[in-house]
Amino acid sequence: MERVAGCTVLHVDMDAFFASVEVRRRPELAGTPVIVGGSGNRGVVTSATYEARRYGVHAAMPVGRALRLCPTATVLPGDMALYTEVSRSVMALFRSITPLVEPLSLDEAFLDVAGSGRRLGDAVEIGEHIRARVFDEQGITCSVGVAGTKFVAKLASTSAKPDGMRVVRPAEVMGFLHPLPVGALWGVGPKTEETLLRLGLRTVGDLAHVPARTLQRALGAAAGGHLHELAWGRDPRRVVPDEPERSTGAEETFSTDVDDPAVIHRELLHLSERTAGRLRSMGCLTRTVTIKVRFADFATITRSRTLGTPTDVGKDLYDTSRALYDALGLDRARIRLVGVRAERLVDADETPQQLELGAREHGRREAELAADRAARRFGAGAVRPATLLHRSGRPGGTPR
Ligand SMILES: [Mg+2]
C-alpha cells in the first residue's frame, strides 16, 4: 500500500457537471460538444462538455459567442431539479465515507478522511473508490485531488481534470505549487492578480520569494500575509462539515377553497402544533418558520421569519405563522392550501437557549410535552381538540 502520511484532504469535483448529467440521459450526445446555458443570445454558458471546451467555450461566456466558436454544439436549457438530485446522491456517498464533508457547490466538496479508519484504505485508495462509485452509480466522471491542505487538494483536482486523480504529497508541495501562475491560487481574483503582475510576480514561487511585508503593502495585511503563507503551502483551514439542511412541516389542502381568515387561523394552529410535535420527536428546535399559501388559481407564495430564540413549541410557531399570514393582508382571497414549515433546525440538546426560556414559555413547553405523551397513549385525535380548547380558552371558538 502506498504511504501518504499527512495527506488526508480530498477535493472531489464533478467533470462538466450539468453537461455530463445531460449527456447521461441523452447517450446519443456522448462524445459531442454540449452546452448547458440560457436560451437565446442573451444567456450564458453554465456548463460545457470537454468536446465543447476544445473550441474555447467556457462557463460564463455568452451562449451566442459560444455558438460562434462551436457551431455544432447542442445547447440545452438546464434542469436544476435533476442536477440537485444527482448532487444530493453524490454528497450522500461522500458522507457515507466520512462525516467531514464540506460542499463548495452542487458539484464539488472537500472531504477529510483522517478519521475514516482502515476499511477503505488510505486517502489515495478512498479517492479511487469515490471515482469508481460516482461513475458506477451516477454515470458521470469526477476528478480528485489529494493533499495535506484544502487549497493544494483543490489545485490538484484541477490539474487532474477531466476524469483523473492527482496526489500531492507533503514533500512534493513546493514543486507542485511554485511553477503555477499566481492566478491559480484560491482567492486570487482578477484584481489581485493584476496587482501582483504589476509587481512582476507571475508565479506562486515568485510570491514565496518576496518578503511577506511587500505583499502586505500591496494587498493589505491580512490578504498579503495569507497569500504568502499559501505560497509556502501553509493553509490552516480545516474541512468544516456542512450538514444537509433539515426541515419539517405540515400542510393542508382544504376540501373547498376558503376565504374566512378565522378558518385559516385555526388551520395554521393545527399545522403549527403538528410541526412542533415533529420537532420534539426529532429532538430539534427551529430557527425559521415559513408559511405557504396556495390560492384558488394555484399561485403559491411563501413567507419566512427567523425567530429570536429557536423553539419546538407549537404556540411559538403559531404566533409567527399567524403574524406572517396576517401581514399578507389578503382580504378574503380564496385559498386552496396552507402550510407551516420549520427550517434551519438545530439539535435541542446542543442549544443552551432553551434553558433560558422564561417560566411561562417553559410551562407551555411542558404542556405540549404532556400532550405528546397523551397522544402516544390515546392517539393524536384524542389530544388535539383538548389542546386547542386549552389554547383558545373558548370551546369550539376561534383561536385568538
Ligand atoms: Mg466541477
How far, in Å, CA of 273 to CA of 17, rounded? 41
Instruction: Report which of residues 25 and 384 the model is more confident about.
Output: 25
What integer pLDDT is reported at residue 389 of this predicted model?
44
**Domain that residue 373 falls in:** 248-392
pLDDT in tens, 161-176: 999 999 999 999 999 9
Mean pLDDT for the stretch of residues 242-253? 80
| Residue 94 resides in a domain | no
Residue 253 shares a structural domain with residue 329: yes
Residue 316 shares a structural domain with residue 349: yes
Residue 300 shares a structural domain with residue 216: no
pLDDT in tens, 379-397: 655 455 444 444 433 333 3
Residue 272 Cα to ligand 1 middle (Å): 40
Residue 216 shares a structural domain with residue 316: no
If pLDDT is split at 50, 70 and 90, which confidence band does 26 have?
A: very high
Residue 105 Cα to ligand 1 middle (Å): 9
Residue 106 Cα to ligand 1 middle (Å): 8
What integer pLDDT is reported at residue 392 of this predicted model?
39
Residue 276 shares a structural domain with residue 368: yes
Looking at the predicted structure, is the pLDDT value of residue 110 above 70?
Answer: yes
pLDDT in tens, 63-104: 999 999 999 999 999 888 899 889 989 998 999 899 899 998
Q: How many domains does the chain have?
A: 3
If pLDDT is split at 50, 70 and 90, which confidence band does 247 have?
A: confident
Catalytic site residue from 22, 108, 273, 368: 108
What integer pLDDT is reported at residue 394 of this predicted model?
37
The residue out of 26, 49, 81 marking a domain boundary is 81
Residue 255 shares a structural domain with residue 205: no
What integer pLDDT is reported at residue 391 of this predicted model?
42
pTM (2 d.p.):
0.63
What integer pLDDT is reported at residue 16 of this predicted model?
97
368 as an active site residue: the answer is no
Cell of 198: 504589476
pLDDT in tens, 253-271: 898 999 999 999 999 999 9
What CATH number should be reported for the domain holding residue 293?
A: 3.30.1490.100
Residue 324 Cα to ligand 1 middle (Å): 39
pLDDT in tens, 174-185: 999 999 999 998
Mean pLDDT for the stretch of residues 307-334? 93
Residue 17 Cα to ligand 1 middle (Å): 6
How far, in Å, CA of 10 to CA of 123, rounded? 7
Looking at the predicted structure, is the pLDDT value of residue 222 above 70?
Answer: yes
pLDDT in tens, 115-168: 886 778 899 999 999 999 999 999 999 999 999 999 999 999 999 999 999 999
Residue 252 shares a structural domain with residue 374: yes
Residue 308 shares a structural domain with residue 373: yes
Average pLDDT score, the chain = 87
Q: Is the peptide bond preceding residue 162 cis, with omega within 30 degrees of 0?
A: yes
What integer pLDDT is reported at residue 393 of this predicted model?
35
Residue 53 Cα to ligand 1 middle (Å): 13
The residue out of 231, 263, 294 marking a domain boundary is 231
Looking at the predicted structure, is the pLDDT value of residue 39 above 80?
Answer: no
What integer pLDDT is reported at residue 133 of this predicted model?
95
What CATH number should be reported for the domain holding residue 58?
A: 3.40.1170.60
If pLDDT is split at 50, 70 and 90, which confidence band does 399 have?
A: very low
pLDDT in tens, 344-384: 888 787 655 444 444 455 677 778 888 777 777 766 554 55
